[in-house]
Amino acid sequence: MQAGEQIIARFRDVRCDTDLGMIYDVWPEEGCGTDALRSTDHLAIRRAASALDRVAGALVQRLALDSKAAYRALPMINSATRVRKIPQRFWLEIDLGEGQIDWANRSVLYVEFCKSIVRYGVRFPTTGTSLGKRAKKALRPYWAGDQEGEAGWLLEQRNAPAAPDACSTDVNRWLAGRYVSQLQAAEPLTLSKTSSEPRPLTKTLVAGLLDALAVMEDVKGHDMMLPCSSSAGQGESAVAEI
């Protein structure tokens, strides 16, 4: 990489690290002791939602994905969203741009931000019939049973906070999971790692997503038919909606 490109890349990482800080700062280390949001909390939540969108765009650039690559940030919080409590988590999905975007039926990269941990990996399609033997064989080097595999990956059922078309303008209904439980019959499978850093910076997320991308490429071409049942199958751990 030329010197000028290196400077631009570092500048983008610094800007992305600043945005990541806005996301992490939504969750104070000490609870405020009240359920009522202060005006500063409202501002912090909206700033974090905007930062999440910028982080997604920055990650797409740093991963050098195809120009057709797309992303979505959940929950979607904008000026019309009524916010009365702090989201317990934020979620990014990155589609690799293979034709028309179909979030439900495609494998996508994802990052999940919580107060104490950050996960990254692959979210598999939410539709299908069963996890086939060929798919299990392809995933075996990364995952073993209901425990983390030697490579540190964990296969489990995990939902995003809510899909955009399943939500009202009141973020509290998303966070309670009411719309998800009513409109989404399946909990999609995810293959993920937990970051060793509670507040990872851009370079850590990029490296983790590149690992996840390699996993996706490795299993491509296998019969990835995934379960649509909301109950966890053998060797899968169900995770309750947060």
Q: How far is CA 197 from CA 115, 117, 171, in A?
A: 12, 8, 28
Q: How far is CA 50 from CA 76, 204, 206, 229, in A?
A: 9, 21, 20, 34
What are the b/e assignments for 155-182, b being 16+ CB within 10 Å?
bbbbbbbbbeebbeeebebbbebbbbee
Q: Which residue has better confidence, 217 or 151?
A: 217
Q: Which residue has better confidence, 73 or 146?
A: 73
Which range among 60-69, 100-109, 163-172 shows the weakest confidence by mean pLDDT?
163-172
Q: How far is CA 128 from CA 105, 125, 212, in A?
A: 9, 8, 21
Tens of pLDDT, residues 117-153 = 999 999 887 664 445 566 667 777 776 655 555 567 8
Q: Using the predicted structure, report yes or no on whether residue 91 has a pLDDT greater than 90.
A: yes
C-alpha atoms less than 13 angstroms from C-alpha of 196 in its C-beta half-sphere: 4
Q: Using the predicted structure, report yes or no on whether residue 204 has a pLDDT greater than 60.
A: yes
Of 39, 47, 41, 40, which Cα lies nearest the Cα of 23?
A: 47
Question: Mean of the pLDDT values across residues 161-166?
Answer: 62
What would the 3-class secondary structure string for 106-138 be?
A: CCEEEEEEECCCEEEEEECCCCCCCCCHHHHHH
Of 89, 35, 66, which Cα lies nearest the Cα of 241?
A: 89
The average confidence (pLDDT) of the chain is 76
Which run of H or E residues covers position 94? Answer: strand 89-95
What are the backbone angles phi and psi of residue 144, rounded to the nearest 5°? -135, 115
Note the pLDDT of residue 241.
33
Report, in angstroms and rounded to the nearest whole number, the Rg of the chain calculated over CA atoms: 18
What token pair was written down for 139? Answer: 């995933």
Tens of pLDDT, residues 92-122 = 999 876 666 677 778 899 999 999 999 999 9
pTM for this prediction = 0.79
Note the pLDDT of residue 141.
74
Q: Which residue has better confidence, 119 or 2?
A: 119
Kindly list the structural domains of the chain, giving each domain's residue range(s) and its CATH number in brackets, ordered by start. 3-238 (3.30.930)
